[in-house]
Amino acid sequence: MSFEPNNVLITGGAGFIGANFVRHWLDTTQQGKVVVFDALTYAGNIENLAGLDKNLRYVFVRGDICDEAVVRQLLEQHRIDTIIHFAAESHVDRSILGPDDFIRTNVVGTHSLLKAAKSLWIDQKTVAAHRFHHVSTDEVYGSLGPEDEPFHEATPYAPNSPYSATKAGADHLVRAYHETYGLDTTVTNCSNNYGPYQFPEKLIPLIIINILHGKPLPVYGDGMQVRDWLHVADHCEAIALVLRHGMSGEVYNVGGNSETTNIDLVHGLCAVVDDLVTTRDELSVAFPGAPAAEGKQAKSLVRHVRDRPGHDRRYAINFAKAKRELGYCPQRDLAAGLRSTVEWYLENAQWWQALLGREYTEWVNKNY
Ligand code: NAD
Ligand code: DAU
C-alpha cells in the first residue's frame, strides 16, 4: 500500500536535516503545500531556507511545537495530511548540561503534535488519509561493544543521555498513538548525519571551522568511539521512501554502512582541508590561520580532551528492513561526501561566519 502526501507540515524545517529535507521535497514533488513550522531556536536558521520564499507552495511559520492550539490551526488552515517531525533539541552535550529544554521539546512537543493530529485526523476525520512521520535516532538503542551486532528495529531501547532518553520517550508516544488511537505513523531511527547546513557545534563542521582558524580540535577521550556516518541527502531520500511506502505503525532503521572512529574521521577531515588549502591559493589568503597556509599539517591541532559523560562507544545500523521493503540504499560514499561537505563549508563561509557570534561551541568542554 502506498501513500502520497499532499499538504505537508515540516517541523524543525529550519534546522540542519529539516532544511535539507524541505529543499529535497520541493525539488522532487510538483504539488501540495510545504508548511515549515520552526521556533528558530539557536539551532534554527532562516538562512537555511534562503531563496525558497519565491516558491508559491512554500510557507514558513515561526512557532513552538508545544503550542497545540497553533498546531491545530495550521493543520486546519492548510488542510495538512502529513506531518514530518524533525523539530527537537538535538545536541547531546547540551542535553548533559541542561536536560529541561530536551524534555519540553522532544517529549512534550512531540505529544502536542500527536494530540493535534489525532484530534483532527482521527476524531474529526478532516482528511481522507494521513501520515505522521517521526524522525528519530539510533541513539535510543544505547551503545554497542566492538563485536556486537548492529542495531536492528527490535533491539531493546537503552538510551544513555538525556537527549536519547527524550527521543526514546517520543518514539514510545508515537507508537502508543498508533496502537491506541489508530494514528497512521512511521518512524525512522537514523545514524549520524553530515552535510550542508549542519550547525557548527556538531563534530564535522566544528572540526572544519576550527582547522580553518588554526584552533585546537577537541577529540573526546581516546577518540576511538565509532559512529556510522550518513550523508544528509541519503537520509532525506530514506524519509521520502518511508513516507510513501512505509507500513503504518512500522519503524525503519536508516544507516550509512560507514562505521568510522572519531579520530580517523578527524584525521580524514584534516587531510581534506590541508589538500584544498595547499592547492587553492585563494584559500590560504582567506584562511591564513589554517595550518596548511603555513605549510603545516592540521592534525597537529588535535587535542584529546575530557570525555563526554556517558559517552556511547559505538553505533552501527542494520538497515536490511528498509532495503528489503523500500529499496533504500545509501548512495553517497563517505570519503567523497566528506570532501564535498568541506567544499560546501569553504564556499559558504558567510553562512557559518554569521553563526560564530551566536552561542557557539567551545562552552562544552569548559562547562563539563
Ligand atoms: P537541529 O538541531 O539542526 O534542528 C532542530 C530544529 O528544530 C531547529 O530548526 C530548531 O529551531 C527547531 N526546534 C527546536 N525546538 C523547537 C520547538 N519547540 N518548536 C519548533 N521548532 C523547534 O537538528 P537536526 O540535526 O537537523 O536533527 C533533526 C531531527 O533529526 C531531530 O529530531 C534529531 O533528533 C534527528 N536526528 C538527527 C541526526 C543527526 O545526525 N543530526 C541523526 C538522526 C536523527
Ligand atoms: O547518532 C545520531 C545522532 O548523531 C543524532 O541523534 C544527534 O542529534 C546528533 O547530534 C549526533 O549525535 P553525536 O553525539 O554522535 O554527534 P556529535 O557530532 O555531537 O559527536 C559525534 C562524535 O564526536 C561523538 O562520539 C562525540 C565526538 N565529539 C563531538 C564533539 C562535538 C568529539 O570528540 N569532539 C567534539 O568536539
Domain range annotation of the chain: 8-198+229-257+312-334
Q: 10 CB less than 6 Å from ligand 1?
A: no
Residue 178 vs residues 80, 91, 122, 172, 336: alpha-carbon distances, Å: 18, 28, 11, 10, 39
CA 191 – ligand 2 centroid, Å = 10
Q: Name the DSSP class of 151.
A: B
Comparing CA positions, the residue from 210, 243, 177 lying closest to residue 356 is 210
Q: 14 CB less than 6 Å from ligand 1?
A: yes
CA 179 – ligand 1 centroid, Å = 26
Provide the pLDDT for residue 356. Answer: 84
Which amino acid makes up residue 285?
V
Do 233 and 195 contact (CB within 8 A), yes or no? Answer: yes
Residue 140 has pLDDT above 70, yes or no: yes
Helix (H) / strand (E) element for 73: namely: helix 68-77
Do 210 and 156 contact (CB within 8 A), yes or no? Answer: no
* 306 CB neighbour count, 10 Å cutoff: 11
15-24, 269-278, 350-359: the lowest-pLDDT one: 350-359
CA 312 – ligand 2 centroid, Å = 10
Cell of 40: 528558530
Q: 40 CB less than 6 Å from ligand 1?
A: yes
> Within a 13 Å sphere around the CA of 295, how many CA atoms are in the beta-carbon half?
0
Q: Name the DSSP class of 137.
A: E
Q: Give catalytic residues, as residue numbers.
A: 138-139, 163
Which of 89, 92, 155, when mutated, tests ligand 2's pocket best, judged by the most ligand atoms within 8 Å of its CB?
A: 92
Listed in sequence order, the residues at least 6 apart from 299 whose beta carbon sits closer than 8 Å to its beta carbon are: 266, 267, 270, 271
Provide the pLDDT for residue 72. Answer: 98
Which ligand has an atom closest to residue 315 CA? 2
Provide the pLDDT for residue 67. Answer: 98
CA 275 – ligand 1 centroid, Å = 32
Q: For residue range 114-135, list pLDDT tens digits in order.
A: 999 999 999 999 999 999 999 9
Q: Is 98 exposed, middle or buried (0-12, 13-18, 19+ CB in 10 A)?
A: exposed
Provide the pLDDT for residue 358. Answer: 57
Do 138 and 191 contact (CB within 8 A), yes or no? Answer: yes
Residue 336 has pLDDT above 90, yes or no: yes
Task: Give the residues across from 187 on adjacent strands.
Answer: 134, 251
Q: How confident is the model at residue 1 (pLDDT cuts 50, 70, 90)?
A: confident
Q: 65 CB less than 6 Å from ligand 1?
A: yes
Which of 86, 140, 220, when mutated, tests ligand 2's pocket best, judged by the most ligand atoms within 8 Å of its CB?
A: 220
Distance CA 210, CA 47 (A): 22
Q: 219 CB less than 6 Å from ligand 2?
A: yes
Q: Name the DSSP class of 109.
A: I
What average pLDDT does range 239-268 have in this prediction? 98
Q: 13 CB less than 6 Å from ligand 1?
A: no
Comparing CA positions, the residue from 201, 200, 220, 235 lying closest to residue 313 is 220
CA 88 – ligand 1 centroid, Å = 4
Q: How confident is the model at residue 367 (pLDDT cuts 50, 70, 90)?
A: low
Residue nearest to atom 36 of ligand 2 (CA): 218
Do 85 and 12 contact (CB within 8 A), yes or no? Answer: yes
Distance CA 349, CA 34 (A): 28
Locate cell 576511538: which residue? 224
Q: For residue range 67-110, list pLDDT tens digits in order.
A: 999 999 999 999 999 999 999 999 999 999 999 999 999 999 99
**Region at 331 (left for phi over 0; alpha for psi -120 to 50; beta for the rest):** alpha
Cell of 334: 563517505
CATH of 8-198+229-257+312-334, picked from 3.90.800.10, 2.170.190.11, 3.40.50.720, 3.40.50.170, is: 3.40.50.720
Q: Which of helix, strand or coil describes residue 17?
A: helix
Q: 227 CB less than 6 Å from ligand 2?
A: yes
Comparing CA positions, the residue from 101, 112, 95 lying closest to residue 37 is 112
Q: How confident is the model at residue 368 (pLDDT cuts 50, 70, 90)?
A: low
Q: Name the DSSP class of 103.
A: I
Which of 37, 40, 41, when mutated, tests ligand 1's pocket best, judged by the most ligand atoms within 8 Å of its CB?
A: 41
CA 92 – ligand 2 centroid, Å = 7
Q: 84 CB less than 6 Å from ligand 1?
A: no
Q: 207 CB less than 6 Å from ligand 1?
A: no
Positive or negative: CA dihedral 133, 135, 137, 140: negative
Q: What is the mean pLDDT of the chain?
A: 96
